[in-house]
Amino acid sequence: MTTTVVVGGSFAGMTAAIQLKRKGKNEHRVILIDQSPLFLFIPSLIWVPFGRREMTDISFKKEAVLKKRGVEFVHAEALETDTKAQVVKTTQGNFKYDHLVVATGPKVNFDMVPGLARHSHYIGTPNGAMKLRKALEEFKQNPGPIVIGATQEAGCMGASYEFLFNLEKWLRDQKIRKKVDLYWVTPEDYLGHFGIDGMPLGESMLKAFMKLFNIHYRTGVGIKEVTTDSVILSTGEALPYKLTQLMPQFVGVDFVQNSPSLLANKNGLMPVDDTYRHPAIGNVWAAGVAVQVDAPFECKQVPYTVPKTGYPSDVTGKVVAKNILRLTKGNNKLIHKPWGHITGLCVMDAGKKEVIILSNRLFRPRVIALMIPNLLYDFVKVFIEKYFLWKSKRGYAWLP
């Protein structure tokens, strides 16, 4: 019997755990440790501030799903691991493993910019989304300028673009759009770079959106400081705000950073080869946002990095499960799937409109690379949400 401990049970970890147990059957014991009892469909958080989704619409308890699939769930925070002793220490005791899968997602680095944690909002957590809902209610009574964007070193700019366009739509719905100067600030060298060196027509499409919706923008800028009333850019320009939302850098979680034997990089992200196995520790694996992915482009002005979205997180979870199964069966021919070669499949919601982003590979060179605007309604985004929640609630981790 091989025991695998998976730390983190979201897009990457839940997929890896269920697939491993499903294929490994009685020869594999799979333990999934997560500090949250809920599975949350994070991409729909962008709708929570506007009341389009409640938290209960986009989350469910994961224990029952995992149990049905034969995976043991431990509701605990993983504190550290000792890879020599092959043990994970948690708030609910220690767990020995033969294989370890790190699928812990990101920790948000709010400390990188003075004033960021204190004055700026963040859309990426349930708490952050609910705080924004409250802030918007207050904002309505006393509107003013808004600054939305991402800091230097950010990778998840797409989510901030989505929030921007949803917010612009909300301002119009509230009939206060004319009272608001709306700014977009981004480290990207050009609009629509997205940390993937753009897509054909992406920049011109985003420029057209900015013009159409009267959004001022600054590209290639970092954030020096967020004060009580201004966002100070790396260029020295101060943009006054009544409300601001900035996407910060993602680094590795404390569990990884507190485990020196994992040999994580300086940002606490997991080094892996393109089988998602640790290059120096043969029974340690990582999937999803926890993985270090090198940017395949040069940043011309300020640094930023690649987005690690849901689809590749799910795919890397599957690759890890398959490779552990192969190794335990004595098959050393592992599946290789470099991050940049994974199919690009993403939808950028733009407030009851959307842009569908499709490519045969995430990184250049690509043979197929399409950005398809849909100005009628965000059908595809809604469909993906419903489909993903449907498959995850049933534990159908083998589906795409």
Ligand X SMILES: Cc1cc2nc3c(=O)[nH]c(=O)nc-3n(C[C@H](O)[C@H](O)[C@H](O)COP(=O)(O)OP(=O)(O)OC[C@H]3O[C@@H](n4cnc5c(N)ncnc54)[C@H](O)[C@@H]3O)c2cc1C
**Structure-block tokens of residue 129:** 């989304």
User: Taking the complex as a whole, how short is the minimal distance between the CB of residue 163 and ligand X, in angstroms?
Assistant: 7
The yes or no reply on residue 47 touching ligand X (CB under 6 A) is: no
Residue with Cβ nearer ligand X (33 or 71):
33
CA-closest candidate to residue 43, choices 221, 211, 289: 289
Surface-to-core class of residue 312, CB atoms within 10 Å of its CB (0-12 exposed, 13-18 middle, 19+ buried)? buried
Among 136, 226, 239, 346, which residue sits at the site for ligand X (rule: CB under 6 A)?
Answer: 346
Residue written as token pair 């199919």: 343
Residue 185 CA to residue 179 CA, distance in Å, equals 20
Return d(Cα 134, Cα 131) in angstroms, integer.
5
Residue 354, phi then psi, degrees to nearest 5? -160, 165
Nearest to ligand X of 292, 313 (CB atom): 313
Give the per-residue contact string, 124-143, with ligand X (x = CB under 6 A; - = no). Answer: x-------------------
Q: Tell me the per-residue interface mask from 287 to 306 with ligand X, x by CB under 6 A, - otherwise.
A: -xxx----------------
State which residue, 36 or 227, has the beta carbon closest to ligand X: 36
Amino acid (one-letter) located at 336: H
Question: Cα 325 vs. chain centroid, distance in angstroms?
Answer: 27
How is residue 326 written in tokens? 């192969």
Q: Residue 156, interface with ligand X (CB under 6 A)?
A: yes
Q: Is 77 in the site for ligand X (CB under 6 A)?
A: yes
How do 107-109 and 249-251 pair as beta strands?
A: antiparallel
Nearer to ligand X, 124 or 202 (CB): 124
Q: How far is the CB of 384 from ligand X (least distance, A)?
A: 8
Residues 178-237 touching ligand X, rule: CB under 6 A, are: none
103 counts as binding ligand X under rule CB under 6 A: yes
Q: What separation, in Å, do the N-terminal and C-terminal C-alpha atoms of the chain show?
A: 28
Decide: is 116 part of the binding site for ligand X (CB under 6 A): no
Contacting positions for ligand X (CB under 6 A):
7-13, 33-36, 42-43, 45-46, 77-78, 103-106, 123-124, 156, 159, 253, 255, 288-290, 308-311, 313, 346
